[in-house]
Chains A and B, each alone.
Chain A
Amino acid sequence: MDITVNILLTIATAATPLLIAAIGELVVERSGVLNLGVEGMMIMGAVGGFGATYLTGSPWIGLLAAIAMGAVFSLLFAVMTLSLATNQVATGLSLTLLGLGLSGMMGTSFVGQPGERLPNLDIPGLTSIPVIGRLLFGQDPIFYISIALTAAVMWFLFKTRTGLTLRSIGDSHTSAHALGIHVIRYRYLAVIFGGACAGLAGGHLSLVYTPQWVENMTAGRGWIALALVVFASWRPWRVLAGAYIFGAVWIGQLHAQAFGIPVPSQFLSSLPYLATVVVLVLISRNKRLTMMNTPASLGQPFVPDR
């Protein structure tokens, strides 16, 4: 029983950063913007979170720093693609390349330094309930944020007027503009929200998952988050499901390596990436489903006509 609980807990820990980054990107893409810089914003969040914790000694300040780092870094993308109407694919790529370089440079002195982990929730009486206690009341704070965030985004997108406006911008920015909606302003806010989420996801890696700084520690998670959004056909609850499936794959291959299964560890390590490809193929085979759900103006630059 204890082993099962432990495995479930590690799956939740592996799924949380994927979920947060993907939920953020989902909002961005719903507004019609494709930000391929998730990996870059995430790694900046990771280095910012670790750095602030290292300097102040408080992982809570680190948490805030990770969010701020992601948001500020995404602003760079927003100015380029929204104000200067640059190609979103190329700009997103450059955000990732810049983030990987910048974080490596900023983190040079953090390599090998001991980190501080965000403490797990511990409610006297509740956390000690057998089995469900630790699952429900004993996880790290970012886990609860990720679940709350998913619910909040679900409510925001489908139950509020602002959410409806955001979705309409994603489907046709020209119509939205004609209705007098500030397309660019909405998109700025969406991109910054996505950046903050990616930063928080990176912070989870360097403050909870492995509380230390390792160069390139995101290891493609930002890209997997992007794939999750497609896999979920832009629906928050499917992102939640997808993130946990991927978390399970990630943890599964780690456990398989630890058990000494006679398969080379490199093959097991490549499973999450191969699974991403397979999942993308499965979901895109159904052309009608994809066509119906993809925000129609996704990735297209918009210059207001005056």
Chain B
Amino acid sequence: MMRLELVKRPQRSVLFSALSPFLAFALTIIAGAIMFALLGVNPLTAFRIYFIEPVSQVWQLHELAIKAAPLILIAVGLSVCYKANIWNIGAEGQFILGGIAGSIIPVLFPQFEGPLVLPLMLLLGMVGGAAYAAIPALLKTRFGTNEILTSLMLVYVAQLFLDWLVRGPWRDPQGHGFPQTIQFNDSAVLPELMPDAGRANWGFVFALIAAVLVWILMSRMLKGFEVRVLGSSPRAGRFAGFGLNRMVFFAFLLSGALAGLAGISEVSGAIGQLQPVISPGYGFTAIIVAFLGRLNPLGIVAAGLVLALTYLGGEAVQSALGISDKVARVFQGMLLFFVLGCDTLIHYRIRLIGLALTKPESAAKLEAAPKLKEAR
């Protein structure tokens, strides 16, 4: 019988801080190999199909960018929340509301065309996402209501609201009864970056810009310092005159706006109309992206590409090996587990102790003390 014991490091380990995501990825691969073997598939074949084949051609890289864009956009916003110790886990709902708000123009005013349409749609998307995120922020600051539960409950409400819209008032009358809105007109579709090479659209560029801007905000500006101080010690932040309530609003509005931008970019770029379901759980997967990217916007870009690959890989093993594409969700969940576990190594060393050998703690401590001195 073994027992783990954590020994606090004098300071955080720079080595493990950099290494932890890679360690976590390696552990995920090992666990994944075991999982594939249990499913009766040769792990090497499975990994080739899962991780390499989906990105071996140029058009596939474009698909990767399409999946990565919303993940990065959302995760960059969430990283600010989590750094400030504010737990917005309802990004999925803010994504949906962004998609809905941004679609107001192409669905209700389809005759409105021109270069103004897209910027307005993107703006409305951000406003929609931010407004929806303002609800948990308001409830938290005004009544002290737990933001984890409220932001999550609002995800279910948003999903049902979208379902009602596309089956009810916004349904395409010429759509043969399918639950979807009209196809957006050309000026409401987010253009592709390189139409000859693949489908990737401007959403990916938005994601990169957002990552760089938030990186500057967090590392070069006072606001970023404020986020970090309030996150690690609200008391110290109060003495410095930083308002916690203002921070709650700032973090929620920023992450909501980015999730909303991701939502309208997805609807206008990748889908081209509203459907009952517009997200394969991007808002939740982005939580994993944020942690895997160490809550650092630039790390998040890399993590977003990795998690996007898990989506593509899931589709690939489903069509090639007949394994459920839920395998992607399993990989994503394991990745987050391992990255959180590996993060422990940043602050602690882990010692394994055989239980059978340990004496009552106080006695062991008394004996160990002189030995420690000798060792030094």
Chain A residues near B (Cβ < 8 Å): 36, 76, 80, 83-87, 89-91, 93-95, 97-102, 104-105, 108, 219-220, 223, 226-227, 230, 264, 266-267, 269-270, 273-274, 276-277, 280-281, 284-285, 287, 290, 303, 306
Q: Which residues of A contact B334 (CB under 8 A)?
A: 98
Q: Is B330 a contact of A101 with CB atoms below 8 Å?
A: yes
Q: Which residues of A contact B149 (CB under 8 A)?
A: 223, 226-227, 230, 276-277, 280
Q: Knowing that A87-B340, A101-B327, A105-B329 are A-B contacts, what are 13 other residue pairs whose CB atoms are under 8 Å apart, sorted by A's residue number?
A: A83-B4, A85-B344, A97-B285, A97-B287, A97-B336, A101-B330, A105-B330, A267-B164, A270-B160, A277-B154, A284-B143, A303-B6, A306-B5
Q: Once the chains are docked, how many angstroms separate the CA of A105 from the CA of B35? A: 11
Q: Once the chains are docked, how many angstroms separate the CA of A86 from the CA of B164? A: 40
Q: Is A90 a contact of B340 with CB atoms below 8 Å?
A: yes
Query: Which 8 pairs between the two chains have the least Cβ-Cβ distance?
Result: A101-B329, A98-B333, A104-B326, A266-B164, A94-B336, A105-B326, A266-B160, A101-B330
Q: Once the chains are docked, how many angstroms separate the CA of A169 from the CA of B333? A: 30
Q: Which residues of A contact B341 (CB under 8 A)?
A: 80, 84, 86
Task: Provide the main secondary structure of the chain A interface.
Answer: helix
Chain B residue at minimal CB-CB distance from A285? B143
Q: Is B344 a contact of A273 with CB atoms below 8 Å?
A: no
Q: Is B337 a contact of A280 with CB atoms below 8 Å?
A: no
Q: Once the chains are docked, how many angstroms separate the CA of A300 from the CA of B68? A: 33
Q: Once the chains are docked, how many angstroms separate the CA of A269 from the CA of B163? A: 11
Chain A residue at minimal CB-CB distance from B287? A93
Q: Report B112-141 CB contacts with A as 1/0, cut-off 8 Å.
A: 000000000000000000000000000100
Q: Is A97 a contact of B153 with CB atoms below 8 Å?
A: no
What are 30 A-B pairs at a CB distance below 8 A? Answer: A76-B337, A80-B340, A84-B4, A85-B6, A85-B348, A86-B341, A89-B87, A90-B82, A94-B333, A98-B334, A98-B336, A101-B327, A101-B328, A101-B330, A101-B332, A102-B330, A105-B324, A105-B326, A223-B152, A227-B149, A264-B168, A266-B161, A270-B157, A270-B161, A273-B157, A280-B146, A280-B149, A281-B150, A284-B144, A303-B348
Q: Is B343 a contact of A86 with CB atoms below 8 Å?
A: yes
Q: Which residues of B contact A98 (CB under 8 A)?
A: 329-330, 333-334, 336-337
**Distance from B145 Cβ to chain A, minimum over Cβ atoms (Å):** 4
Q: Which residues of A contact B4 (CB under 8 A)?
A: 83-84
**Distance from A39 Cβ to chain B, minimum over Cβ atoms (Å):** 9
Q: Which residues of A contact B344 (CB under 8 A)?
A: 84-86
Q: Is A97 a contact of B157 with CB atoms below 8 Å?
A: no
Q: Which residues of A contact B328 (CB under 8 A)?
A: 101
**Distance from B133 Cβ to chain A, minimum over Cβ atoms (Å):** 14
Q: Which residues of A contact B184 (CB under 8 A)?
A: none
Q: Which residues of A contact B206 (CB under 8 A)?
A: none
Q: Is B144 a contact of A287 with CB atoms below 8 Å?
A: yes
Q: Once the chains are docked, how many angstroms separate the CA of A93 from the CA of B88? A: 12
Q: Is B164 a contact of A264 with CB atoms below 8 Å?
A: yes
8 Å CB contact of B150 from A86, A93, A277, A285: A277
Chain B residues near A (Cβ < 8 Å): 4-6, 8, 82, 87, 89, 139, 143-146, 148-150, 152-154, 156-157, 160-161, 163-164, 167-168, 284-285, 287-288, 291, 323-324, 326-334, 336-337, 340-341, 343-344, 348, 350, 361, 365
Q: Which residues of B contact A90 (CB under 8 A)?
A: 82, 287, 291, 336, 340
A-B contacts at CB below 8 angstroms, number? 141
Q: Is A104 a contact of B160 with CB atoms below 8 Å?
A: no
Q: Which residues of B contact A230 (CB under 8 A)?
A: 146, 149
Q: Which residues of B contact A102 (CB under 8 A)?
A: 326, 329-330, 333
Q: Which residues of B contact A226 (CB under 8 A)?
A: 149
Q: Once the chains are docked, how many angstroms separate the CA of A266 from the CA of B332? A: 30
**Distance from B305 Cβ to chain A, minimum over Cβ atoms (Å):** 19
Given contacts A80-B341, A86-B344, A266-B160, contact A281 B87 (CB under 8 A): no
Q: Which residues of B contact A99 (CB under 8 A)?
A: 333
8 Å CB contact of B160 from A36, A108, A223, A269: A269
Q: Which residues of A contact B324 (CB under 8 A)?
A: 104-105, 108
Q: Which residues of B contact A89 (CB under 8 A)?
A: 87, 148
Q: Which residues of B contact A104 (CB under 8 A)?
A: 324, 326, 329
Q: Which residues of A contact B139 (CB under 8 A)?
A: 277, 280-281
**Distance from A180 Cβ to chain B, minimum over Cβ atoms (Å):** 9
Q: Which residues of A contact B167 (CB under 8 A)?
A: 266
Q: Once the chains are docked, how many angstroms separate the CA of A219 from the CA of B155? A: 11
Chain A residue at minimal CB-CB distance from B368? A306
Q: Which residues of B contact A270 (CB under 8 A)?
A: 156-157, 160-161
Q: Is A97 a contact of B329 with CB atoms below 8 Å?
A: yes
Chain B residue at minimal CB-CB distance from A81? B340
8 Å CB contact of B340 from A36, A91, A100, A287: A91
Chain B residue at minimal CB-CB distance from A83? B4
Q: Which residues of A contact B350 (CB under 8 A)?
A: 84
Q: Once the chains are docked, how many angstroms separate the CA of A100 from the CA of B145? A: 26
